[in-house]
Amino acid sequence: MTIATLSIAACSAPSTAPSSAEEDPGAVGSAVEPTTLRMLIPHPGDPVPFGLVTFSALEDAQFAGDDPVTVEQLDFSNFGQMAVLVSQGESAEMANGLGISSILPAWSQGAKDFRVIAVDAIKPVYQIVTIPELPDIQELDGQTVGILGPTAAGTDALDVVLGAAGLTGQVQQTQVGTGNAGVAALEAGQIKGLAFAPPQATELEAQGYHVVGDMVDYVDSYITGMTVVNADWAEENRDAVVAYLKRLVEAGEWLANPANEDAVVSHWQTTVSSSGGGKISEETAKAMYDYYVRDGRLAFDGYAPQSALEGNLGVSTWRNILKGSDIPADLTDAFDWSYLNEALAASGKPEVPDYTTLAPTELDLD
């Protein structure tokens, strides 16, 4: 596990967000004790696409105000172990980037001392990209495509898009790395297609590859990426957790505000890595803005409606990874929105509702 200690410093994003602790002495942050929060996160300092709101909350000084909460980012990409480690509370108090497929096994096996307190995206973010020689998804019939893992969000997207094209069971899948490793596998001819999210998908399309499907065309509500925290630690350090979530809410508000479009695009040009090395171009950043912000794929307030969770469960059920009877009756207890509601209230925003009885969405790909 590589440790990257976060030192929050000003970046290129302009200070258009409110510094509430200075303007309102009673705001969250003014009464928070100095606290260090250890967060497991893939690739510290280099945002995964669906985690753009979380990235801004962690890296942009304008959203921290004067609250004394320090987030120590720990480089850790084994999503299957994140929930268990946070539940144990020994190596980290928090983790970001997990999917439903990561928390469900941990919860079902009794590792229940964690709570989901925020999500990254509320719509699917993955598209299916094919090599230049295969411009139509039907041409994947009999070919080999790459996946990160059988329960990854990108594999959900791949199976849904292939299913809608009538190609279920007709395309071979092989496990490859994500990001640059996936690009390398495509370029080497080891695979003919892969699920990518912008900026990788955008950059590949500009190079002659083809985007032949988008999961959002078939599933419009779906959680990608969650933040979990150790339940006992969170309750003992509630003010610190709420202070962090207030940063998240303010970062999301800044990203979602149309008046900040140029600033957001400029910001991403200096912070988001290109698959070819360096940072992304202005054209790619603008395409990302359209994809994530205009299309409303990100969870700008950190909340996902119950329909999004039911979308994930519906896809897993349709893929036969999960049976309805396998969904724990107390799964809703894993989601605690009380921390986020305090942060929303401190930011002058309405509260969000708790989850009730879950009913997986039924997929109809006809």
Residues 41-66: pLDDT tens digits?
987 777 777 899 999 999 888 888 77
Contact residues for 64 (Cβ-Cβ < 8 A; gap 6+)? 8, 247
Q: How far apart are CA 339 and CA 222, in angstroms?
A: 22
Q: How far apart are CA 20 and CA 14, in angstroms?
A: 16
The predicted pLDDT at position 11 comes to 35
Residue 134 has a CB neighbour count (10 Å cut-off) of 17
The predicted pLDDT at position 31 comes to 65
| DSSP helix/strand/coil, 364 | coil
The predicted pLDDT at position 213 comes to 97
The predicted pLDDT at position 151 comes to 85
The predicted pLDDT at position 7 comes to 30
Beta bridge partners of 228: 95, 116
Buried residues in 214-246 as b, exposed as e (16+ CB within 10 A): bbbebbebbbbbbbbbbbebbeebebbbbbbbb
Nearest partner of 199 among 83, 117, 277, judged by Cα? 277
Torsion of CA 251, 252, 255, 256, to 10 degrees: -150
Report the phi/psi class of residue 189: left, alpha or beta, with left for phi > 0 and alpha for psi in -120 to 50.
Answer: left
Domains contained in the chain, CATH given: 2-122+222-346 (3.40.190.10), 127-217 (3.40.190.10)
Positions in the chain whose pLDDT score sits under 50? 1-29
Q: Structure pTM? A: 0.89
The predicted pLDDT at position 309 comes to 96
Name the E strands within the chain. Answer: 2-5, 35-41, 69-75, 94-98, 114-121, 127-130, 144-147, 172-175, 193-196, 210-214, 224-230
Q: How far apart are CA 323 and CA 258, in angstroms?
A: 42
The predicted pLDDT at position 3 comes to 32
